[in-house]
Structure 1
């Protein structure tokens, strides 16, 4: 349910031509940015890692997206924790809890080679999740479906 609210909030905040507050709601399910370009087919020069391979329901772990070289910066990011195809848990960003994280428009000087986020596992949850990311290097060069190793959430 929270996923729908986040997507609706993103839609209301977006302009018609640009996405200064992050990805459009149409990107929430397929995680494909609407850049009028196709995702890269070659392997991504990024990795998604977690601070732990096991987390208790209701507890937090760190999720990091890192470029493999200094030139592999993150201009844009969209990330979800998924159990199968369903987004689960929340990311803690600026006193908000969101099931999908996206970026705001920013100056290139603010691009980073590594970004770490805090994720909270859902309460009363017993399953495996993977963190799935869309990572943008340039408007026309981005990768969809970059995944972490599996993380077990225990009750």
Structure 2
């Protein structure tokens, strides 16, 4: 009987993975930032998405980061964003919204809450207390099951 339950659990898990994630990012995507269950490779073309953020902020400031399409028709259904310390290439800080995941620390990644088409998303990022240095944001952006981009990179943010 235990074997049957294990097989049922495996089938349910595989079906959920194959169906994609319409409202969350699984923790197994934390390191690679690659969406599981899409069955295709990421697009190699220039991503039609951009970050908008300040160039410089004071330490301990909340930072507003906007991810949007480059043009008015460039919408997306899913996203996964992390911030990286440029000096160490390590993930850094935490997000407040819209939905977060604990990858490299509490709320160290931000992601979509649903698969509704979006023109943009506004995120609030918090640097570590008294951090001085530069940070770059990186995203995976999903337009559709067949079309997504990894390595969407922001301009550098200087804290200090």
- Scaled by the length of structure 2, what TM-score is found? 0.77
Q: Residue 110 of structure 2 aligns with which residue? A: 101
Q: Residue 70 of structure 1 aligns with which residue? A: 72
8 Å Cα contact 2:82/2:138 also seen in 1: yes
- Which residue among 136, 147, 155 is the counterpart of 2:142? 136
- Which residue among 23, 44, 49 is the counterpart of 2:52? 49
Q: Which runs of 5+ in 2 are unaligned?
A: 1-11, 101-105
* Secondary structure class of the residue paired with 2:31: helix
Once the two structures are superposed, the pairs formed by residues 1-155 of structure 1 within 5 Å of their partners are: 16=13, 17=16, 18-34=20-36, 35-50=38-53, 52-84=54-86, 85-93=89-97, 98-106=107-115, 110-154=116-160
- Scaled by the length of structure 1, what TM-score is found? 0.79
Give the superposition deviation at 1:21. Answer: 3.8
8 Å Cα contact 2:98/2:123 also seen in 1: no
Give the superposition deviation at 1:20. Answer: 4.3
Give the superposition deviation at 1:124. Answer: 2.4
* Secondary structure class of the residue paired with 1:47: strand
Larger radius of gyration: 2
How many residues in Structure 1 have an aligned counterpart in Structure 2? Answer: 136
Distance 1:86 1:80 in 2: 10
Q: Render the CA deviation track for 1:67-114: whole Å, top value 9, x for unaligned.
A: 1223211200000111143111111126976110122333xxx31111
Structure 1 residues 140, 122: CA separation in 2 closer, same or farther (over 3 Å shift)? same
Structure 1 residues 95, 131: CA separation in 2 closer, same or farther (over 3 Å shift)? closer
Distance 1:98 1:140 in 2: 28
Q: Which runs of 5+ in 1 are unaligned?
A: 1-14
Distance 2:98 2:157 in 1: 24
Q: Let me know the Cα RMSD of the aligned residues.
A: 2.0
Give the superposition deviation at 1:48. Answer: 1.0
- Give the ranges of 4+ consecutive aligned residues of structure 1 lying more than 6 Å apart after TM superposition: none
